[in-house]
Amino acid sequence: MTAPIDVTALRADFPALDNKVNGRPLIYLDNAATTQTPRVVVEAEVDASYNRRANVHRGVHSLSQEATAAMEATRRRVKEFIGADSTDEIIFTRGTTEAINLVASSYGSLLKAGDEVILTTMEHHSNIVPWQLLQQRSGIVIKVVPIDADGSLDLDEYRRLFSERTRLVSVCHVSNVLGTVNPITEMAAEAHRHGALICVDGAQAVSHLKVDVKALGADFYAFSSHKMYGPAGVGILYGRRELLEAMPPYQGGGEMIGHVSFQGSTWADLPYKFEAGTPDYIGAAALASAIDYMEAVGMDNIAAYEHALLDYAMEQMRTIDGIRFFGTAPGKAAVISFLLGSAHHYDTGILLDQLGVAVRTGHHCAQPLMEAYGIEGTVRASFALYNTREEIDIFIAALRRVAAMLS
């Protein structure tokens, strides 16, 4: 069961939404890049900065112990949020990018020349380039799943790509360009049937739908705080315990060691083996508040509300002559990529900004996907729990004005 969202009350939690751009009320539709942050999360950051600013895990004094307790409480909160078995499986990173790099560098070091990694055409560069770097270092083979015209993965081709050398599939849960929600449970089952693992880029999923890593069958799952109403510079890597235990450290330094001598070093237990150096313990503590905020609204409620916004926006946008959509897969998330006829995406974005509407333009760190569509980039509007139908109406009116100017 879902319940209606009191969006007026929610919007009062986000001061940024009261801003004006070029004398007009801000219509913020760039949530796939970064969501705005509610007061409660900022207050958690301020409280931690003022009252618990002491390095974690390394001090016997009270302030350090309090900072450590706050960070570890967030680790427990993340474990519950994504359905992991243990806090040992929850690693703090700087974001999804670092989390995937960790897997590519650490698990990747166990791969040999000729071993295969399967990616998809719709991946963000953060889930392409780390594997290419590994390819250069180790000689792995990268295979790529194509997409259908509506932006869905070609699952028949996905199944055909497996061989006895396939070791890993790395795929986005939700496309940051197309909004396509990939069938991770089905894809994970196929990977496991071939003895391969699956690493999931969940950056675009965790703020829009309920994630259960065990139900999905994910071996690794990565996401970022700043896309889920939390602080920037904080991310999470989930990894199954037995896999993390077998993997070498990603970075060396303080905290991740058991014992250091010039004759050799040993590593700390999980999860600290992968957390070298001083972490962003301020941001990490505040991430718990962002999770609490989303769950207070209800993940199912958020999903239902955002899908209603998406359907309404798509319906209105289809009435604009010459508009071209990229990504129309059934059940997609609240992301719309489009072009106005032959107008350049950058021109469209600049003109929309003049009218107070914030959208993203460009290749969205997905150049291979753009090449597959034969375009340089798109305009992207992406919705969050605080957006409204009234904002969509303003967006549509602005889009009509821009279309007339660029026609």
Catalytically annotated residues? 365
| Number of other residues whose CB lies within 10 A of the CB of residue 159 | 14
Could you tell me if 161 and 145 are in contact, meaning their C-beta atoms sit under 8 angstroms apart?
yes
- Closest residue by Cα to residue 329 from 147, 124, 121, 161: 147
- Closest residue by Cα to residue 98 from 181, 213, 220, 205: 220
User: What burial class does residue 366 get, using C-beta atoms within 10 Å of its C-beta: 0-12 exposed, 13-18 middle, 19+ buried?
Assistant: buried
248: cis peptide before it, omega within 30°? no
Dihedral angle over CA of 193, 196, 202, 205, nearest 10 = -10
User: Which residue spans within 240-320 are E strands per DSSP?
Assistant: 257-261, 264-267
- Closest residue by Cα to residue 391 from 337, 313, 331: 313
CA atoms of 107 and 10, how far apart (whole Å): 41
CA-to-CA dists, residue 315 to 252, 305, 318, angstroms: 52, 16, 5
CA atoms of 259 and 278, how far apart (whole Å): 18
